[in-house]
Structure 1
């Protein structure tokens, strides 16, 4: 038996080697995918990447090729299925989560130095007294200036684990010695409710900029405070709100819709329908609500507007919304990147889809605003084209339409003056932010010491400030020059609004912008008629 074992051992080794050689041959680029994958579509992509990795004449970053490939695939699906690369995922997630861990400041990198624009509301820096204009020079003894550090790197050094401590050395204008602040890093809220306050004695106002994880909690707090101030009516401003988490939008809608009423339903690839109903006693079921929308109100914003409109609750005021009725789910791809893939369509309670067509390609889809602008829809309700085959009737007898956005109950035209459009772009695009920061820096100690009331009553935007702003724009790009004489009052209003934002936060900013706002004026008019 021992002799036979001596014979069998080499034989078995030879067989094992032969099998190994066979499998190795089968694992060549030509055949490996047939062995390990039954999906020929996956085989083709895997094989191509392998060819480039191992055979292509030059070194190539195949990660970037994969990113391009994924984007190209998604482009052929629908406009809202998107790829989130690994290096962008953290920022995207943070924005939707509603908070981040850090010291809680917004800043500019000026002359290679961190200069605080504002200590963020509710963050640790605000609580310990860091102010706009402060220069953060050291963090835990590490020099942060004159080092050529990128903004991303500076942000990383200021962030950290929750409850971790960092000692900051800060230079403040008017104080000779450096100030020392011991900061405990904490969760800093990224507010999705920009503003809430009383428009009239009984009409409250709430503006939601997106639907993040914390939106309903913020909204609920705002409703409580406004009701305590006497609000029997609410103006819910969803203009320029691009959407976000569907669950948060459903919770907001539920505050106005009676229990058991349908809020929306979704339908997936297989045709399976999932209904979502109002499930609790809302805080404002018996109050009057006005929902403010425009051409940039999308997705979750349209869920709220559509649910209220189809249940004959409140009044939708403004212009036709964007028209996004697709539901996405975020799915990780295993390397830190993710894809948001459209998995269903949602429908309003009457059964209408408000998704606008995308069969002419993504470029035409995203340029729909220009089509609306050119056909006059932004200026005249009569220019809104509807499809009679997509006509629906609410329980209360109101006629509504599907096929592309929520058409408001009360139309308010857009001011399409090109100079005003440009000025709004400059404000929202950040150009005015840096100018105003520099303006505040000229007399930082004064501005940091004044109260809101003093700011409102004493701070005047002068002609010289307007001229300075135009000179500032020309220094960036001559094409950005405004026509100051025609729009001087509006320009002054925007400059003061941005000053209010940097000194007192978004609530003060929105109050300034909303002064003489067409849609808000219409809502006030409607609310007074209903009393």
Structure 2
């Protein structure tokens, strides 16, 4: 809001609280007809909005005022009730689905040309032979190069209705003529299981990045494949998993918990309790499970860890989890936007609420990691704050605590080193991925010809590449020191290269080499044989 509108903003924001009542009239609570009954307060506010729209002396964007008001209202409820604007809602919803409709490529826009990073596994482009390094020049005769359009616009152009066809003209290095691919758009998996492989002859590993619509199905397929390879123990990696659909977490917990045992219960504002129990014979009820968590494991991840811990099933390994014990429901507001509103609290089977306090405001709440760092709990389990009033006992006699996250059975300290953290930041920022893409571009024919085994044996990340990477950073105005951490940088560079060539399973496998928590799990696994 600019110029003359600024002077009216305080006046309009003063109506924020009551305006929230008006907005609440449109929420989709199918279980309560009371929200849609006639209310003089709502009618009054309806009139106010109309007066501002039609009678006020200056033009006011009431849509933006409503957006600001909704955000302000939700900020004063709890840290996890959020507003999703119309322009973001489609992307947010798609991310939680198990797939999207398109041609199935990840790409960079290089010199105004679409260059394929990778044809996504299981997608239409992979099936018909499109490869990393291919340049998509035309779609149905429309040039996609030398155009000043954003990645979002390009993505929309390549997406379309399921089973619709698009004719692509593609330039591949080393070939004189353009290749033609008739791609039938289809469902492209958005995988939430990043990796599944064997850590030892009897210990399988599964990494889940979020709980989306297809997570349980992906997990079950991965588990069955690992069992065929001899897995009698599973390491379930939920580190850095922010959560998602509660139903998917419940289904996964049910794989390990015997029928009739509690998984969790929820309690709403009226005190109504809804209990959830294991309902079927899981594939791994008699196997051994290790759940890996850290300070970024939240919500649905904590449901799984808490359910297993409170039923004396398996071993929780790592560091105290995030501490989110609130349940949200997504509700559309009628104009393409939505809210995720907290509707209940969940409790683990022993009755623990693991929601950390938020009574000092959202800013304080989201700085909890800094407090953990400063009080030393990331390096020492004895520094984790616990309260005797929040002590609970599992059926097997184990002491557990509520009040802020799941405390692991076996603590593994965080390797806190600024240089190591910098390498991880470079990885998470996408900068490392862009550098590796340019390395692969120099010899696409060779890299695309490699099998996984050939890649593992032949590709060596040497000191020269480390220096090239540092120089590349400087060319982009990024100055960082590596010093004694060049072995870790080499490991990460090769992992990112494997990701672009072979996918996330190969990436996680290389990245996890030497991981402290995984090494601890392997050690515990041997003890339990």
**Common topology (TM > 0.5):** yes
Counterpart in the other structure of 2:161: 161
Counterpart in the other structure of 1:519: 517
Counterpart in the other structure of 2:199: 199
Distance 1:71 1:162 in 2: 35
Gaps spanning 5+ residues in structure 1: where? Answer: 1-32
Whether the aligned pair in 1 keeps the contact of 2:237 and 2:292 (CA below 8 Å) is: yes
Superposed displacement of residue 402, structure 1: 0.2
Residue 471 (1) aligns with residue 444 (2): no
Residue 174 (1) aligns with residue 174 (2): yes
Whether the aligned pair in 2 keeps the contact of 1:423 and 1:482 (CA below 8 Å) is: no
TM alignment of 1:310-459, pairs within 5 A? 310-459=310-459
CA change 1:323–1:41 in 2 (3 A) is farther
Distance 1:151 1:298 in 2: 31
Distance 2:410 2:45 in 1: 52
Distance 1:48 1:366 in 2: 36
Residue 238 (1) aligns with residue 238 (2): yes
Distance 1:48 1:389 in 2: 49
Counterpart in the other structure of 1:226: 226
Residue 502 (1) aligns with residue 496 (2): no
Superposed displacement of residue 43, structure 1: 4.7
Superposed displacement of residue 523, structure 1: 0.2
CA change 1:40–1:403 in 2 (3 A) is farther
Whether the aligned pair in 2 keeps the contact of 1:243 and 1:297 (CA below 8 Å) is: yes
Superposed displacement of residue 52, structure 1: 3.3
Superposed displacement of residue 202, structure 1: 0.2
Q: Provide the alpha-carbon RMSD of the alignment.
A: 1.3
Counterpart in the other structure of 1:77: 77
Whether the aligned pair in 2 keeps the contact of 1:243 and 1:298 (CA below 8 Å) is: yes
Distance 1:49 1:145 in 2: 46
Counterpart in the other structure of 1:13: none
Distance 2:115 2:58 in 1: 44
> Equivalent residue of 2:372, what SS?
helix
Counterpart in the other structure of 1:7: none
Distance 2:414 2:252 in 1: 27
CA change 1:514–1:337 in 2 (3 A) is same
CA change 1:317–1:270 in 2 (3 A) is same
Distance 1:247 1:276 in 2: 10
Counterpart in the other structure of 2:130: 130
Counterpart in the other structure of 2:275: 275
CA change 1:288–1:141 in 2 (3 A) is same
Distance 2:125 2:217 in 1: 23
Distance 1:499 1:364 in 2: 39
CA change 1:410–1:45 in 2 (3 A) is farther
CA change 1:173–1:253 in 2 (3 A) is same
Distance 2:492 2:319 in 1: 23
Distance 2:168 2:66 in 1: 42
Tell which structure's C-alpha radius of gyration is larger: 1
Superposed displacement of residue 426, structure 1: 1.1
Whether the aligned pair in 2 keeps the contact of 1:205 and 1:237 (CA below 8 Å) is: yes
CA change 1:37–1:62 in 2 (3 A) is farther
Superposed displacement of residue 477, structure 1: 3.1
Distance 1:75 1:51 in 2: 27
Distance 2:37 2:228 in 1: 63
Distance 2:513 2:384 in 1: 28
Q: TM-score, normalised by structure 2?
A: 0.92
Size of the aligned set, in residue pairs, is 495
Gaps spanning 5+ residues in structure 2: where? Answer: 1-21, 23-35
CA change 1:451–1:295 in 2 (3 A) is same
